[in-house]
């Protein structure tokens, strides 16, 4: 859901009687799989029409609210009692990203959103009915294969797309680029001044109509744009060097092992470089 052109959250509406995750007794496998994905979102209203709750990164962020009345009986329509329901809606609509306190907390936030972006890209690529968005992403995937990885399938491109956009935004944030009311193409241009390849990649991947349908990009921008690197614990002088390793360890540990993405600390690297060889 957007307010004044800004992504503020998501609403998951279920059939009556479905309840919300906090009151589930025996959820179906499909519900559990979907909820694992929704837990990556920072601001979600979950409801079956009668029962309502707001969640942030899988944690209950409001009381579970049950409306009074009967959904199926016009003689006793649903009604709100007290102020809790109004407070839930107000908190949802006025949501602002939290300031992460540690690098690990930040990476946990963005890794989950990156997975959801990957799922969005995959869904569009698999659905020709999405018209222009499908066509544009398919062309990008074809270019990616021609220029970089000839054997890359659509799932691999979705993964590459989501990782590239996420890490480019993280680099922009580390470099002090303001995200406030700054369009993606301008963030990409500013990023390109110091990281030309990543800046160009961000511009190519997001300067199209398809990016408008990828809702996670807006959420990633808001969450990453809130980071204050000066007060972030565990974000020392080597943050550029080890950020991707730590991100990949959370986003996809198996891919980290396959790609060999392991960071050598500066002290160790410096010692190795300074050691004379005979």
CB burial class (10 A; 0-12, 13-18, 19+) of residue 5?
exposed
Question: For the stretch 31-43, what's the b/e string if a residue is b when 16 or more beta carbons lie within 10 angstroms of its beta carbon?
Answer: eeeebeebebbbb
Q: Which residue matches tokens 């907390």?
A: 105
Beta carbons within 10 angstroms of residue 169's beta carbon = 27
User: What pLDDT is stored for residue 229 in this prediction?
Assistant: 85
User: What pLDDT is stored for residue 53 in this prediction?
Assistant: 97
Contacts for 60 with CB less than 8 Å, ≥ 6 apart: 22, 53, 54
Measured torsion, CA atoms of residues 150, 155, 158, 163, in degrees rounded to the nearest 10:
-90
Q: State residue 256 phi and psi, 5-degree precision.
A: -60, -45
Task: Determine the Cα–Cα distance for residues 79 and 83; give it in Å rounded to an integer.
Answer: 12
Q: If DSSP codes are grouped into helix, strand and coil, which group holds residue 12?
A: strand
Task: Determine the Cα–Cα distance for residues 209 and 132; give it in Å rounded to an integer.
Answer: 7
| 113-134 pLDDT tens trace | 999 999 999 999 999 988 889 9
| 80-109 pLDDT tens trace | 888 999 999 999 999 999 888 888 888 888
User: What pLDDT is stored for residue 264 in this prediction?
Assistant: 40
Q: Contact, 46 vs 19, CB < 8 A? A: no
CA dist list (Å): 143 to 6, 10, 165, 204 = 31, 32, 16, 11
**Which parts of the chain have pLDDT scores under 70?**
233-243, 252-278
């Amino acid at each position: 859901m957007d307010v004044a052109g800004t992504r503020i959250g998501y609403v998951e509406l279920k059939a009556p009687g479905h309840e919300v995750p906090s009151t589930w007794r025996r959820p179906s496998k499909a519900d559990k799989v979907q909820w694992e994905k929704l837990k990556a979102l920072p601001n979600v209203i979950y409801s079956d029409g009668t029962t309502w709750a707001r969640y942030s990164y899988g944690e209950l962020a409001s009381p579970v609210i049950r409306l009074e009345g009967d959904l199926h009986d016009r003689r006793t329509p649903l009604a709100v009692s007290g102020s809790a329901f109004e407070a839930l809606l107000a908190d949802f609509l006025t949501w602002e990203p939290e300031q992460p306190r540690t690098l690990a907390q930040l990476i946990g936030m963005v890794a989950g959103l990156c997975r959801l972006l990957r799922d969005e890209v995959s869904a569009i690529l698999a659905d020709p009915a999405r018209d222009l968005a499908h066509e544009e992403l398919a062309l990008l995937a074809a270019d990616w294969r021609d220029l970089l990885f000839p054997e890359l399938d659509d799932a691999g491109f979705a993964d590459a797309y989501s990782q590239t956009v996420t890490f480019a935004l993280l680099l922009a944030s580390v470099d002090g680029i303001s995200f406030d009311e700054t369009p993606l193409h301008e963030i990409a241009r500013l990023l390109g001044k110091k990281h030309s390849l990543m800046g160009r990649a961000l511009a190519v991947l997001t300067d199209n109509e398809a990016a408008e349908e990828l809702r996670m990009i807006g959420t990633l921008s808001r969450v990453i744009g809130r980071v204050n690197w000066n007060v972030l614990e565990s974000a020392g002088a080597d943050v550029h060097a080890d950020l991707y390793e730590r991100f990949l360890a959370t986003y996809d540990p198996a891919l980290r092992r396959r790609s060999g993405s392991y960071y050598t600390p500066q002290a160790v690297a410096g010692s190795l470089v300074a050691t004379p060889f005979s």
